[in-house]
Amino acid sequence: MNIRTDILLRVYLSFGLIVLFAIAVLAKLFHLQYVEGEAWRAMADSLSTRYIDVEAVRGNIFSNDGSLLATSIPEYDLRMDMLAPGIETDEDFYSKVDSLAAKLSAFFNDKSSAQYARLLREARKNKNRYYLIKRNVGHQELKQIREFPVFNLGKYKGGLIAERKNKRILPFTNLAARTIGYKIPAEDVNVGLEGAYGEYIDGKSGKRLVQRIAGGVWMPVNREVEVAPVDGADIISTIDVNIQDMAQRALEKQLIASDADNGCVILMEVATGEIRAVANFTRDTDGSYREKFNYAIAQSAEPGSTFKLASYLVALDDGKVDTNTIVETGNGTYRVHRHTIKDTHAYGTVTVKQAFELSSNVAITKIINTHYKDNPAAFTKRLHALHLNEPLGLQIPGEGNPLIKTPSSKSWSGLSLPQMAYGYELKMTPLQMLTLYNAVANNGKMVAPLFVKEIRHLGNTVERFETRVIEERIASDRTIGKLRAMLEGVMLEGTGKRLRNPQFATAGKTGTAQMADDAAGYSARRYQSSFAGYFPADNPKYSMIVVIRNPRNGYYGASIAGPVFREMADMVYANDLNLHQDFERMRFVGNTEPLPSLKGSKAATLRVFDALGVKTTYASSTPMQHIDTVKGIPFSDEEISEGMVPDVKGMGLIDALYALENSGYRTKVKGKGKVITQSLPAGQKVKMGASVLIELN
């Protein structure tokens, strides 16, 4: 054998050994993958564990009166351990599986009894220790399911595994929905109180050890969590449920009537800045109105004539004019920088006070342009001193940024000063505008709007939020007094006089602004109607602003936004007993003024008077049969018994219906007021089911 042959033999031998080794490796891989694969994968799964977060119960959000605005309720994913101690033997399992299947089928009504039985048997055959039965089961449902066959063997023997989740609900559905808000952690979306106070509401997650089983499912190693979660804190908001409901109803009704795109209404307590109601509605594609965007805090827009309050404040406080200063408005037009400013009517010669009450664009433009055209920075500096260029720093996210130009602004022009005088070439949100009106109502003290009063955890106060003062005095007492007189004048003699309620004094200002369209500018004839003010005017407790955008059935602030202001003011005034001096006068002991006699349930009347705190020593000498007194008020206590006609004369309709129908009679009603006659005589026994006609007057 020569050298060449020897070398080739060695090469072939080496190559052959390498090929054989490769084949052996591939064979082993094939064996591991397809022959022993299932066993190894099961072993890998059984050895794979990790800790996962256990969601804490999120804190509640309460209204000012303690009503629940948002809360979390438990929901459960139900699973079953098919090898639980109570059904460890086949005999135990198969003797009860059909009964369990029948119960599950009847309860959930989603599968037949036979289908449930087949699925449970398959899970048992596969030795599934974490079989999913149903998702999103309520707490009350779970209590019933625990009584089903097999599951009633106990927490561990029965094999039922209930994995708790927390579902966020709003008990009042859409009431203040945008203010309450929501969170989407995966998208980093934080809206309203839910988003702003997530750090408190969310609580602290717990930890649970889980093990991966076949199919990639993670099963808890222990029934109990290793580290218990800490529940979230509760938020006490300033929202009043009743006022919020009034606001939403009034706003929605007017949006429908005016065929508008959207609108908002905000009601604030003057002294504290606490927001009692904030409603926002947008017309949806189906024509209905829903809360989709918080216009009240986020919509920065040109306010129009409601901004005139700021312009008059500056001019009056700077001593440029007084309320009796004469302004010539001529035929209702004013030409400035090749632009004509117009009034809706020709007002001629008016005083400053009259110009404000009539909302003359010409008058305020002349005043500001005449006195500040040589030094416009003096005007804008005063607006900045009112903090109108600054965000309010709200407790909830999403506040729109205000815009108050200065002569150094890039977009400043010769027309900017006169335009700003009546609410154009600047931007403010409705809440920012309301804060100015609230300051005037509050004798010049500007306070920040407040949405949250307190944070509590397990009943203990974590943090309390007091009224935050932005500016102690925005103008002199003299100026504030004149502005308040002008705002009251709007309701007495000006554009808001049709909105006046003779029962109590209100103050406010109408606003109508033409909305700019990106494509068509101001030529599209789209308007924003608004009304801002406060009540009662002599001792303000509440301030309010209403803004309605792009109404199609009219557009003036008095006729579009004004009715919402009037309706809200009337309802709030009627429901706030502290605003009624007559009621307070009734409360003190020794009152001798006559009060109406009462008839009905004495126990119910006592509860009402105790709740209202009525204490009077008035006594009646009126000769009435079965007379009694409730807190000194003449009262006839009527007993109700079946088959005996009660005496309902003198009762209101609700009490009369209650008495007659609980006595077993069918009632027919004629008229309104109090019952003056009844067709069946009182005190007689009449067959139950008979008809009784009552006349009211």
pLDDT tens figures, 326-348: 999 999 999 998 889 999 889 99
pLDDT for 638 beyond 70:
no
pLDDT for 51 beyond 80:
no
Are residues 255 and 549 in contact, defined by beta-carbon separation less than 8 angstroms?
no
Confidence of residue 682 (pLDDT cuts 50, 70, 90): confident
Residue 116's identity, in one-letter code, is: Y
Residues 284-291: contacts with CB under 8 Å, at least 24 apart: 289/252, 289/255, 289/256, 290/174, 291/174, 291/177, 291/178
At 335, which CATH number?
Answer: 3.40.710.10
User: What DSSP state is assigned to residue 399?
Assistant: P
* Confidence at residue 40, expressed as pLDDT on a 0 to 100 scale: 67
For residue 547, which phi and psi values (nearest 5 degrees)?
-130, 125
Same domain membership, residue 422 and residue 549: yes
Residue 133 domain-assigned (yes or no): no
| Nearest-angstrom CA–CA distance, 245 and 546 | 15
pLDDT for 583 beyond 60:
no
| Nearest-angstrom CA–CA distance, 496 and 535 | 14
**Residue ranges with strand state E in 188-261:** 189-191, 206-213, 217-220, 234-237
* Confidence at residue 172, expressed as pLDDT on a 0 to 100 scale: 85
| Nearest-angstrom CA–CA distance, 141 and 161 | 14
| Nearest-angstrom CA–CA distance, 356 and 492 | 12
Q: Helix axis angle, 376-385 relative to 361-372, nearest 10°?
A: 110
Residue 174 domain-assigned (yes or no): no
Are residues 327 and 366 in contact, defined by beta-carbon separation less than 8 angstroms?
yes
Q: Looking up tokens 């009369």, which residue turns up? A: 656
**Hey, how many other C-beta atoms are within 10 angstroms of the C-beta on 68?**
15
* Confidence at residue 603, expressed as pLDDT on a 0 to 100 scale: 63
Cis peptide before 149 (omega within 30 of 0): no
* Confidence at residue 627, expressed as pLDDT on a 0 to 100 scale: 41
User: What is the rounded average pLDDT of the residues 425-451?
Assistant: 97
At 683, which CATH number?
Answer: 3.30.10.20
Q: What sign does the dihedral 11-12-13-15 (CA atoms) show?
A: positive
More confident residue, 280 or 219: 280
Same domain membership, residue 549 and residue 671: no
> Lowest-pLDDT range, 311-320, 511-520, 605-614, 647-656?
605-614
Question: Looking at the DSSP assignment, which residues form a beta bridge with residue 692?
Answer: 667
For residue 367, which phi and psi values (nearest 5 degrees)?
-60, -50
Percentage of the chain beyond pLDDT 90 is 53
pLDDT tens figures, 63-79: 998 888 998 888 999 99
More confident residue, 12 or 611: 12
Confidence of residue 42 (pLDDT cuts 50, 70, 90): low
More confident residue, 406 or 644: 406
Same domain membership, residue 446 and residue 382: yes
User: What DSSP state is assigned to residue 231?
Assistant: P
532 CB-near residues (< 8 Å, 6+ apart): 306, 309, 433, 434, 437, 508, 509, 511, 543, 544, 545, 546
Confidence of residue 618 (pLDDT cuts 50, 70, 90): very low
Rg (CA), the chain: 37
Residue 640 domain-assigned (yes or no): yes
* Confidence at residue 630, expressed as pLDDT on a 0 to 100 scale: 46
More confident residue, 440 or 345: 440
Same domain membership, residue 575 and residue 676: no
Q: What is the 3-state secondary structure (H, E, C) of 266-299?
A: EEEECCCCEEEEEEEEEECCCCCEECCCCHHHHC
Same domain membership, residue 450 and residue 311: yes
pLDDT tens figures, 168-203: 888 888 888 888 888 777 777 878 888 888 888 888
Percentage of the chain beyond pLDDT 70 is 87
Same domain membership, residue 498 and residue 423: yes
Same domain membership, residue 502 and residue 420: yes
* Confidence at residue 168, expressed as pLDDT on a 0 to 100 scale: 87
The CA dihedral of 312, 313, 316, 320, to the nearest 10 degrees, is -70
| Nearest-angstrom CA–CA distance, 257 and 501 | 22
Same domain membership, residue 621 and residue 483: no
Of 88, 75, 230, 209, whose CA–CA distance to 140 is shortest? 75
pLDDT for 619 beyond 60:
no
Q: What sign does the dihedral 368-388-533-306 (CA atoms) show?
A: positive
* Confidence at residue 58, expressed as pLDDT on a 0 to 100 scale: 87
* Confidence at residue 222, expressed as pLDDT on a 0 to 100 scale: 73
370 CB-near residues (< 8 Å, 6+ apart): none
CB contact burial 485-516 (16+ within 10 A = b; e otherwise) = ebbbbbbeebbbeebbeeebbbbbbbbbbbbe
Q: What is the DSSP string of 99-116?
A: HHHHHHHHHH-SS-HHHH
pLDDT for 47 beyond 70:
no
> Lowest-pLDDT range, 275-289, 355-369, 657-671?
657-671
Same domain membership, residue 439 and residue 517: yes
More confident residue, 221 or 676: 676
Q: Looking up tokens 């609980």, which residue turns up? A: 662
| DSSP H helical ranges for 497-600 | 557-560, 562-575, 581-587
> Lowest-pLDDT range, 82-86, 148-152, 560-564, 637-641?
637-641
629 CB-near residues (< 8 Å, 6+ apart): 619, 620, 635
Q: What is the DSSP string of 125-192?
A: HTT-SSEEEEEEEEHHHHHHHTTSTTGGG-TTTS-EEEEEEEEEE-TTTTTTHHHH-EEEGGGTEEEH
N- to C-terminal Cα separation, the chain: 138
Residue 379 domain-assigned (yes or no): yes
362 CB-near residues (< 8 Å, 6+ apart): 329, 330, 332, 333, 334, 341, 342, 343, 347
Query: Domains in the chain: how many in total?
Result: 3
Give the structural domain span for 9: 3-46
Q: In what order do the strands lie in the sheet with 275-283?
A: 289-290, 275-283, 262-269, 542-549, 521-535, 507-517
Residue 651 domain-assigned (yes or no): yes
pLDDT for 626 beyond 70:
no
Task: Give the global pTM.
Answer: 0.73
Residue 153 domain-assigned (yes or no): no
User: What is the rounded average pLDDT of the residues 404-419?
Assistant: 95
Same domain membership, residue 497 and residue 355: yes
Question: Looking at the DSSP assignment, which residues form a beta bridge with residue 670?
Answer: 695
pLDDT for 218 beyond 60:
yes
| Nearest-angstrom CA–CA distance, 120 and 227 | 32
pLDDT tens figures, 356-404: 999 999 999 999 999 999 999 999 999 999 999 999 999 999 999 999 9
Apex 297 CA angle, 295 and 301, nearest 5: 65
More confident residue, 356 or 1: 356
308 CB-near residues (< 8 Å, 6+ apart): 356, 359, 364, 421, 422, 423, 509
Same domain membership, residue 644 and residue 527: no
CB contact burial 200-225 (16+ within 10 A = b; e otherwise) = bbbbeebebebbbbbeebbbbeeeeb
Same domain membership, residue 457 and residue 317: yes
| Nearest-angstrom CA–CA distance, 385 and 390 | 10
Confidence of residue 621 (pLDDT cuts 50, 70, 90): very low
Of 519, 597, 532, 591, whose CA–CA distance to 558 is shortest? 532
* Confidence at residue 74, expressed as pLDDT on a 0 to 100 scale: 86
Q: Classify strands 460-464 and 446-447 as parallel, antiparallel or unpaired.
A: unpaired
Reported residue count of the chain is 697
Are residues 558 and 498 in contact, defined by beta-carbon separation less than 8 angstroms?
yes
Confidence of residue 12 (pLDDT cuts 50, 70, 90): confident
User: What is the rounded average pLDDT of the residues 157-161?
Assistant: 89
| Nearest-angstrom CA–CA distance, 131 and 119 | 10
Residue 485 domain-assigned (yes or no): yes
| Nearest-angstrom CA–CA distance, 552 and 257 | 9
Apex 22 CA angle, 16 and 28, nearest 5: 135
Residue 575 domain-assigned (yes or no): yes
* Confidence at residue 683, expressed as pLDDT on a 0 to 100 scale: 79
